[in-house]
Structure 1
């Protein structure tokens, strides 16, 4: 058949056939390639599991009583609460691996430290609510270490004495606040990612015992550029769309910007950093409100102060940065450190803002994502009886708890009494004789075990009415992918923390399955055991060494215990770890209470609770301080406002229907409430508003809320009142 004989119709059919065949082949090829790519993707997905986490965050008020009870931290009997600077919060973070049943909880709370009694009570309540979901081994409770929170939540005698005993309203506020923050975090869990970033915070901490630090080996010190850890570690938590959920940071500094003359409940510098971060993220919300949660948790802060001006003799102005922290005139009681501001409020703001600024920068630039499984390990250890194996031929032993002479000297952040001096390595016959009569003489075994510490309080041999110090303590590690949180039950010094971090990192990476692990030391966790210095620092017996209660090998014992936990996690053998001896849980009736109940509130004749006795001025300008004084009851009677409520508001008129809008409350940085205890049972409160320069011009009013206590048929009755105030103007 020749070409000339092919018809046009035949040619068209042939072309159509060829085109259809090509299309069919193309479709089949695309389908085949697509299916192959999908299969390969599924295969990669099976080989490389997703490391998205379920993340929940929560914040709850835990302020407690704000008047007529001791503040916890300085152990100063004259430092009792008399008002409110900032409210206290518990901030909880839950991270769960959706591919397994594993989850961990980290809680940072605005308190001096977590006591064993507090942890035990929280865990009981969590067990009743959640069964075995939240347990001793996967929950860490940490204190920020503010020295301006209410006391009274301990079960061992030493801290009971300095707290005026066991104070139920104080511990109940903490229990309820911590559990509520976990509840909120539990209910808010959503898929998300965690990014980690690190950076140095400059000019915000100094070493308050540089002489002790210098006792560490020279070659070890040469590895670090500073005698404090200046690095802030931040976890940035975001949902799968990249929206912020929360931020959790660790930084080593004592929150002692609010000094031991302060009488206002305050979260101090770390709390202010949280306040700034949360206010930035929760736009338009009052403090303590909004979904974003930012916590600044404690780390190895044992010898680290926020009083960056250093120690000076308050009577002469000269430096007293010497081994004994003493002044030529006045001795150790005149040697005190100060912060960078014009007063303690300003110093708190400066340090807090510096920490926040670095955290904000790190959050903005964070790119490294944490991926990997979740693990945790926990043990109870009898720290009074640990044998430390240094090598095949040498070993050491911990001691029954005891405090040395320099414990009574205090620190340059808060000096002690009776002219005790830091660096004391010999006892005094006068004080020894008083100790022996009142408390009993320490046994020869205890004295020898603690050398060179001269023992002032042999607390491990004192058991009335309950033991004075804990023997059984928690050691615990949480790991989230390549992040390890080492929860320590006390205040590790700078070098102690460095040694512990190195040990845990080395052990976790020893299996070879995970590399480049970030290790953070989380301080003041689960139970309080005072300080942990290095062996070398212990020898010179400054305050931190005298407060290392289990003797010179305390750090080695902790390192040995945490190494065991890290090894178990690395080898996937946590289930084989012995649980250890459980701590005692003393019933409330065995715990002494030295705080008398509040008397019935009284007021002057012809007045009512809430009446204004000193009114505001007619007008103020930004930068001024507006003050109003009200007749009040004792704020300790205002139980309804201790958690979730407020003692005061600053309200602005919107000039529409006479509505007043709350712009500030008692959680705001710019407000303060001072309680003034008067004569004949009368008292009043002064509410002050430090008017920001950024304030909106307009008409404002200040209100105070409270309760007063009366008796009816010998039963206390708490009656509410709302203070009133005439309005005032804020003008240019």
Structure 2
């Protein structure tokens, strides 16, 4: 599975189905843009390339890399093996064709449905703060920012949700897409069920809400029924099925043509955790060390707790429900219509070789250059949503002689790379590792709509 970099996290079933949801906004004889929200950890360059190839074969130059954006909800309970860089497929033991094909098929189908259902209408926007669906999982790191910068913001994470409401001129509301920052880590690193996590849950809640007459129940129904209550019945049903004779299965994509499409998209979720109750040591129950997120020096004992603790399914439901209810409020009060022309900008940027002008404290400026990617020792400690292993600690700016020896077996960073990455000590020099092929991306695609 993709997200926690845990090789022991192997999928064994489905919590609830993943979706690709798309909207297209077009001028009658002018520009158009397509945006896809994908229930996966992230988008993938190779997936995007394949989707664009299929769209070109189907629609010509109507949809290209310039006006199509694909975004992942950052669930850590989705399939792995669909990216083309070694770093991201090590724990899935390489490229997984089945994961790749299903994602490409689903995205293509979502864009096709959006294209076929284009009709005259309007788009409205609304914004508001959601306070109880995300916390900063590295608050001590945030305090290292200058006080003058921190004073500009009310919170140490972005609490704002932005929602677009799509209205058909004849049929009325047909969908909404919103952006809010919180990690897809309500489901833990030991979970083995494919899941859209809290954002996937929120999307399902809102689509069901619209279909059921737009009445919010006092408690949104759980996605998975009470397993303890139904355990015996489920076992009886499972036992009643006869085994097949080993017939091969073909990958299928289930396409659901909903009258209302709601997507809960990811925004600047960097260190925003849905485990809002705080971080605690699993051996003592005491709070973790504030600066290093450790318990008696061990990072693997420190975990964040979601609002449904100790039930991760309940935490997923609660955080999803909070986003859903916020979105409903914004949806019902969205009256500001978007006006103007449709536009987009697209660029390929090599972030490993950029010149950056840095102002100097006493006046003037320096010009410095970026360098290839590298992972530090602190990275290996993981986060409080999913701790790493061994003796790594968050915020480590010294490193360890033993792990440097291990690193050098793969590749030894040169003096320029070490100097550029300071004060971060390099654990894996991924940007310069090319065997058997690239370990990390050097350039990124920027798309503005």
Give the TM-score normalised by structure 2.
0.88
Q: Which residue of 2 aligns with 1:331?
A: 298
Aligned residue for 2:21? 91
Could you list the structure 1 runs, at least 4 aligned residues long, displaced by more than 6 angstroms after superposition.
Answer: none
SS at match of 1:176: helix
Aligned residue in 2 for 1:449 = 420
Give the total of aligned pairs. Answer: 404
Instruction: Tell me by how many angstroms 1:202 deviates.
Output: 2.2
Give unpaired runs (5+ residues) of structure 2.
Answer: 214-253
- Aligned mates of 1:292, 1:370 — CA distance in 2: 20
Measure the CA separation in 1 of the matches of 2:256 and 2:276.
29
Secondary structure of the residue aligned to 2:125 is strand
Alpha carbons 1:310, 1:321 under 8 Å: kept: no
> Contact 2:289–2:295 at 8 Å: present in 1 too?
no
Which structure would you say has the larger Rg? Answer: 1
User: Could you tell me how far 1:155 is from its partner in structure 2?
Assistant: 0.8
User: What displacement does 1:117 show?
Assistant: 1.2
- CA shift, 1:426, in A, is 0.9
Aligned partners of 2:159, 2:289: CA distance in 1, in Å? 21
Match of 1:244 in 2: 173
Aligned to 2:447: 476
Structure-2 separation of matches of 1:474 and 1:258: 29
CA distance in 2, matches of 1:332, 1:160: 24
Deviations 1:6-25 (A, max 9, x none): xxxxxxxxxxxxxxxxxxxx
User: C-alpha separation between the residues in 2 aligned to 1:326 and 1:287?
Assistant: 45
Q: Which residue is 2:366 aligned to? A: 394
Which SS does the other structure have where 1:460 is aligned? helix
Q: CA deviation at 1:129?
A: 1.1
2:399 to 409, 427, 438: 427
Distance 2:177 2:258 in 1: 16
Does 2:12 correspond to 1:82? yes
| C-alpha contact 1:282 1:289 (8 A) present in aligned 2 | no
Q: Is it true that 1:261 corresponds to 2:190 in the alignment?
A: yes
SS in 2 for 1:250: strand
* Aligned-partner Cα distance in 2 for 1:235–1:175: 25
In structure 1, which of residues 124, 134, 157 is the aligned counterpart of residue 53 of structure 2?
Answer: 124
1:289, distance to aligned residue in structure 2 (A): 4.7
Contact 1:257 1:339 in 2 (8 A): yes
Structure 2 partner of 1:292: 260
How far residue 287 of structure 1 moved from its aligned partner, in angstroms, is 11
Q: Greater share of strand residues, 1 or 2? A: 1
Structure 1 unaligned spans of 5+: 1-70, 479-732
Q: Distance in 2 between matches of 1:258 and 1:180?
A: 27
Alignment correspondent of 1:159:
88
Tell me if structure 2 keeps the 8 A contact 1:279–1:287: no
Q: What's the counterpart of residue 190 of structure 1? A: 119
What's the counterpart of residue 65 of structure 2? 136
2:275 alignment partner in structure 1: 307
Aligned to 1:412: 384
Q: What is the Cα deviation at residue 326 of structure 1?
A: 1.0
- Report if aligned partners of 2:21, 2:37 keep a CA contact under 8 Å in 1: yes
Q: How far off is 1:291 after superposition?
A: 1.6
Map of 2:42 onto structure 1: 113
Deviations 1:175-217 (CA, angstroms, capped at 9, x unpaired): 0000100000000000001110111112111000111111112
Please tell me whether residue 216 in structure 1 is matched to residue 187 in structure 2: no
Contact 1:268/1:348, CA 8 A, preserved across alignment: yes
Distance 2:101 2:58 in 1: 17
Partner residue of 1:280? 209
SS at match of 1:394: strand
Aligned-pair RMSD on alpha carbons?
1.5
Q: Which residue of 2 aligns with 1:375?
A: 343
What is the distance in 1 between the residues matched to 2:81 and 2:440?
15
